[in-house]
Chains A and B, each alone.
Chain A
Amino acid sequence: MPETQDEQTKPIGKTSATDRDPNTSDKFNFWLGSGVIVNPFDIVEVPQVGDSKTYGLVTMLEHRTDAPNHLSNYISSNFGEVEEEPNTPRQGTTLAKVNVLSNSKDIYMPVPSERQVQFASAEGIWEALGIKDIPEKNRIPAGLVKMSTGTSAVAYLDSRYLLGPDGAHVNITGISGLATKTSYSMFLIQSILQTAEKNNEAEKIAVIILNVKHGDLLQIDVAVSDNLSDSELSKWRELGVEPKPFQKVRYFLPRGRDGTANSHLEPVSLASIYAYDLDCTADKLGFMFNDISDPSGALQSLVGDIMHGIIGREAAFRNVDTWDRLLNGEPLFKDGKTQKFGDHYSSTVGKFRRHLRRMVKTRSSGLFVDNRNTSEVVLSEEIFEIKGGDVFVVDIAKLYDHEQLLVFGDLLNTVYELKSEGESEDIPDKIIFFVDELNKYAPKGREGSPILEHVLDIAERGRSLGVILISAQQFMSAVHPRVTGNCATKVLGRSGSSEVFQPDYRFLDDDIKINMTRLSQGELILCPNTYRQPVKIEFPRPAFKQQQA
């Protein structure tokens, strides 16, 4: 918090408009008084016409002197004498570049020159971000906006734009290794659930989390073993969110070769092992072939016919009830030879068999079985039983890529089916689906794959169905633009300069892009559609136990 009220309200500089660098409806500049410290992402306020205030976001600071060139400074140091101290220091000022956030009376006249500038108060920050206009029950804490003065304010997201119907989905991007993307996703989900609880709507939301790395998310119902530090606890407090692990969690672990769970660690609480036999996989075979090169579409067509044959119990597939029989029996294989099937050439069938054998036999982690054990569950059946308040964690961390694709596609398909066709009253109003490494499932530049079609469907129709995608990846530029474009909230973590200058980030100012390259751990840039400008936020460490990578 600021040391004194005076410090917060005292002028820190004056606006400055020049012939070459004018103030506009969208931007203004101000010079800083001596000794004032301002940082990018600070929010400032300036008195405007009609007794209104214009709020702005500092995007860049630059120091200017009256030296017309560097040679002038060299010469002013007595022709390069580094020890030389001038009698009169050169005149210079630090100039802050500001993007207009909002005006308290919706007046977007350019800020005049020579106006006193001060830091925005916590209330001013809310006004600047439009949070005051969000009904209290729709406010979901999304992070803390911290100013150079120490002032902080909670950045709230509008649930109508986070969970539908006006907008939906969150996409988080940033380099890995900072433990930020996953931690933030978990914080946001926790915040959504606790807000729902406060509004007596806890039974309306269910969560499905895909664990893709280590055992990060396999203990989310276990309290953090080393107590949270005071600063972390104060962040939780300020945000109005209770630092507690998730409740009503069920874990689904993949079956390994020996029949036990194939996971980095086994959760202490309720966990089930899931496996895929041919019967429960038949309608999802296409997901397994998602990444196989098939320029002519022949393979896709064959997979479609085989799926149809198995599901429809066609005569040719009557005896096909295991992976082994599908690979080595009729109708695809007979007398030691690959057979022609329907209109499909034997070479296409051969290709199908080769890939399927690799997937379910030679390069299988043990996920595929000919006959499921009674304790091994069918994932889609379990998802169909999801209730409001449930948190399902599905572990795919140790699976091969094609297995991950199958599980992801299966989950997506099931959730979509559940929400679009299910009629039970027990179906939660909203199902939040969290997945990391989205680029793997919805990559840019590939069209027509079955999984991508599902992701696009959810991105585009999910908000009306109540399927909310919270996704993350290292590089937004690697994800299909229709997916990220449909996310009403984008959250940006530290990224490399080559990434931030990709066209996918054109919604950001160049100054903000540069700031993205130096974000620290626990810092993110929040860009909801409802804010006029992105803001930098901090969030607390998760309150559940995490496995050390």
Chain B
Amino acid sequence: MPNPLVGLGAVFELIRQNAKVLPATGHAFEDLEKPDIDEVDDLLYHKDEEGGGRISAFAESPEPDHHAIYFPTPKIHRNQDHLFRFFVDGSFRTYMIGTGVEGTRSFPIQLAQIGGAVVNREDDGSLKRHSSSFKILLVLAPSDTLYNRLKTLESVLNNLGRFSFQVINYKAETVHPGLDFLDERNKAGGKIRHEMHLLEVDLIKTTDGQRNENSWLILDGAVKLADFINKPYIIGVAKSFSKNLEFHLGHGRGSRKADITSILASLPHEHRTAAFSTYGGKVAFWFVRLREQKEVDYPLMGVVKVEIPVRPEYCDHTGKIRKELIDRLSSALVAERNVCPYGADTRWHCHLYPIYMAEKIIKTGFYSKEVLTGAIKWPKPQEAENA
């Protein structure tokens, strides 16, 4: 079988001609994916808002009593109300392939595969791939000259149509102000995640016109407010989330302060918390317990965080989301707990199976580590000069 990534060699030659390269030991090594990356996103996301992670307002109507913030959400099976029809996930795999040195400046060079998939669930519960997309990213922070030359090569490779390729300068634009404290490689990783989210956005567009009040889409993770705010009938369901949130409920005498751990530890089975307002009221979020605490190892397991952009069609005259809608979404979500990938994924207790399948579609669509690392061969300095 021919090398499916033929053409990448020209990219490596170009870098070698323009910069000194310290190749990663051997050919390349795969960066481990961080399972709690959603949690980092969530942490950064809540840091943005006023109060830096302090939650004090409800986002549902009628406004709940701040002493009674749990509501029953008995499961509503697909046979009764087939609410969730589309499921979206994105994934990436990065490879540290070397360090580039231009003058006194050095930068990591990473190659990444990003992919996204939308799964559609039919009336009988069977799943079909609705759409999917894959891309290979070269992420580095070169000089403008090298960057421009690489961009030219990018167009050439994309015109060949063998694979979708993109060169990214991770320093060209700030992905997230909160990432400043991270090192260079993590910044590049942040940029890769951002590109993956953009891919998800594109894929969600393929469901436009097919979503309505009875046909919703679940996105794995947070709704990424800036990207999805204008998309109706979408919720984000996060398996991991920041544990640093603080809740200040009520005012004056009788007000209460609680941390997320104590709130979730008391959240009963098949119940949700009240919906809270965040990001200046543009987003609502709440938690749903899918599994009984006795079934899991730790009280915070079996709980998912649901996010929804606040849109007028969800709200009543108060401008807050109607309680019935939140209850309906939560009850339908409880029914999604089975089947689960127990034994195949450590996050089985809060994984939604169609999302898990979307993840499978992506991972089986990636080039294997062997193919990718086999395709990455830095030319020897002599060869590069002669080329």
> Which residues of A are at the interface with B, using a C-beta cutoff of 8 A?
66-69, 71-73, 75-79, 84-91
Contact = CB atoms under 8 A, between A and B. Distances in A.
Interface string B66-92: 000000000001110000000000000
Contacts of A85: 77, 79
B354 A75 contact: no
B34 to A, nearest CB: 23
A69 B353 contact: no
Interface of B: 77-79, 121, 125-127, 295, 335-344, 348, 353-354, 357, 360
21 contacts: A66-B341, A66-B344, A66-B360, A67-B342, A67-B343, A67-B344, A75-B295, A76-B338, A77-B339, A78-B337, A79-B295, A86-B338, A86-B339, A87-B77, A87-B335, A87-B338, A88-B78, A88-B121, A88-B336, A88-B353, A91-B357
Nearest to B335: A87
By DSSP majority rule, is chain A's interface helix, strand, loop, or mixed?
A: loop
B338 A72 contact: no
Contact of B125 (A75, A79, A89): A89
Q: Which 7 A-B pairs have the closest CB atoms?
A: A76-B339, A68-B343, A86-B338, A72-B342, A72-B343, A75-B342, A86-B339
Contacts of A90: 339, 353
A35 to B, nearest CB: 12
Contacts of A78: 337-338
B344 to A, nearest CB: 5
A72 B336 contact: no
B336 A87 contact: yes
A272 B337 CA distance: 81
A85 B357 CA distance: 18
A462 to B, nearest CB: 53
B125 A87 contact: yes
Nearest to B337: A78
A67 B348 CA distance: 12
A17 to B, nearest CB: 13
Contacts of A69: 343
B127 A84 contact: no
A88 B353 CA distance: 7
Nearest to A68: B343
Contacts of A72: 340-344, 348
A474 to B, nearest CB: 46
**B125, B335, B338, B348: most-surrounded residue (chain A CB, <10 A):** B338
B331 to A, nearest CB: 12
A67 B356 CA distance: 12
Nearest to A85: B77
A87 B79 CA distance: 8
A99 B137 CA distance: 43
Nearest to A77: B338
A75 B125 CA distance: 19
A88 B354 contact: yes
Nearest to A66: B344
A287 to B, nearest CB: 66
A90 B351 CA distance: 13
Contact of B344 (A68, A77, A84, A88): A68
B188 to A, nearest CB: 31
A433 B344 CA distance: 62
A78 B335 CA distance: 10
A169 B125 CA distance: 56
